[in-house]
A and B are shown apart, each in its own frame.
Chain A
């Protein structure tokens, strides 16, 4: 909880995402350390899933690569333990509900706490169904991040009031993936959140360029970037650590208004 509390403290946050185990977990561990070093304020690690319905093709392919490499939830927890020995960067696991449910929500959240995971983001667990894991998150001090979408409208206040850590603002309709333009009125969405609760808002889905990140940071508390980074991992594989570090550094500067 304390690690998560610092993510947005007196700064705009940059939150990168990679799929754990793409192309293998050793690479993921190096990537997390490199991204932390380059200024990432929170790192999102995706648990690869066989059927990621909220993802575009870039992250779908990453999930396929990670699963083909033998990545499992247990191995990811072991990786997180190793990462935790080397960095205090806040960590969130992004996973569909079925890997948590199949693993056992209690055991999953206990392992999160023991390994040093600060939060979970579950894209197919809407407000109405969060009872599935909420009590376990509470028992083990793992923050369950709430998402709002451009279609949420009158649901925003209800979701925001019970949100913890930060609100994940989905920028656009559709699935994850690089977009040339984000047309949603993000300022209006974020105003609805803030009217209900004083909680940081980080925007994700479709962001890839420093210019987009700068615009997001002007209206939000943070920017989340997944597909653009996963694309670099796809291109460079095990050699992606340096290019990802450079990219994260550039994006962090953009979010911070330094470039």
Chain B
């Protein structure tokens, strides 16, 4: 069935949006095989985003953990500081080809908003970003960065004032401005064709990892580890390895204060099947289908659902999803900073945290690839607050 991943996916949106989704699907079906489009996108990825990103041999981390060899896929070195730009460049270019003059997006941590604002500036398009008010406070620097790039940032004050509410508001705005506006979904979520389209644009991560590791080590990794909110950096890393059964695929969910508490955003650990934000998948919700107010220290993972392809990979047992708490993520944030001189995004720190548990239990001949999906500059102030450090600007 169209846009399905097993039982998940689909197109559960108001009728007003249906023709727009069909139009995007048709345009994407055409351009994904169009040589000129791909040449233009590849040129942007190489000469604007800075791809391929490094696959870094984290020797000090490997030595410290005393088990599997650790490689870091350095998506944090992309222009704008995260993997988000891979998808945004693809979608913005597609929107431009479709004749759209305006883009809109939701953002949690601000990484996707910054990437969208950046692409909009580059491609001379209007840009409106929706961000939960709580997140505009947690990530004030990124708000200013988006404004500097020419975007308008709308603080969203409905609901929990976080990522899901930003998606709600971006969807509402899109419904009103469907003629000239393309909604650049930031993750592998939402209605078809977004989960497929975003996955395809992010799958460059795993393709590069495979080629880089084969060149360096002559073999595949034993485990790929990535953080999962909606799940775009994770699916980007996993996708090229789905057909390689020897490679464990591990998604790290934000457990907040713990997956056994109410203050969590671990969807696979605590969620149930549902239909929300255009897709069937797993969601944190109550027995009546009311979406739960989730929590994580990481604004980018603070989302009550997960992309439908991840839900499917979970159902069929191809990928594993594990909860990682705030405390573990903050520890990993400091650990990587001090050990390797790399400050990871607090989102990516969730993956680092799990790899710290995983590596010692694996053999020295084995390899773990961690997707370092973003850099942590944006999180420095929030981590200082978390640690009780009083910063003065």
Contact = CB atoms under 8 A, between A and B. Distances in A.
B11 A128 contact: yes
18 contacts: A49-B290, A51-B276, A73-B288, A97-B275, A99-B288, A101-B273, A101-B274, A102-B288, A124-B14, A126-B14, A126-B15, A127-B15, A128-B18, A150-B16, A152-B15, A173-B177, A174-B175, A175-B176
Contacts of B290: 49-50, 67, 99
Interface of B: 2, 10-20, 158-159, 164-165, 168, 171-172, 175-178, 272-278, 280, 283, 285-291
A98 B276 contact: yes
B175 A175 contact: yes
B148 to A, nearest CB: 29
Nearest to B273: A101
Nearest to A147: B15
Nearest to B177: A173
B275 A101 contact: yes
B15 A102 contact: no
The residue among A49, A53, A96 with the most chain B CB atoms within 10 A of its own CB is A53
Q: How large is the interface on A (under 10, 10 to 19, 20 to 34, 35 or more residues)?
A: 35 or more
Contacts of A149: 14-16, 18
A117 interface: no
Contact of B288 (A103, A126, A129, A174): A103
B179 to A, nearest CB: 8
A173 B175 contact: yes
Interface of A: 49-51, 53-54, 56-57, 60, 67, 72-74, 96-103, 123-129, 132, 147-153, 155, 159, 170, 173-175
B275 A98 contact: yes
Contacts of A129: 10-12
Nearest to B280: A101
Contacts of A96: 289
B171 A126 contact: no
The residue among A51, A132, A152, A155 with the most chain B CB atoms within 10 A of its own CB is A51
A170 to B, nearest CB: 6
Contacts of B11: 126, 128-129
A125 B12 contact: yes
B28 to A, nearest CB: 17
Contacts of B286: 102
A60 B158 CA distance: 8
A60 to B, nearest CB: 6
Nearest to A72: B288
A13 B274 CA distance: 35
Contacts of B273: 101
A174 B172 contact: yes
Given A129-B12, A173-B176, A50 B291 contact: yes
A67 B293 CA distance: 13
A101 B15 contact: no
A74 B280 CA distance: 23
A51 B288 contact: no
Contact of A123 (B14, B168, B280, B289): B14
A174 B13 contact: no
The residue among B15, B176, B280, B283 with the most chain A CB atoms within 10 A of its own CB is B15
B178 A173 contact: yes
A66 to B, nearest CB: 11
B289 A102 contact: yes
Contacts of B158: 57, 60
A103 B287 CA distance: 7
A128 B178 CA distance: 20
A131 B223 CA distance: 39
A53 B168 contact: yes
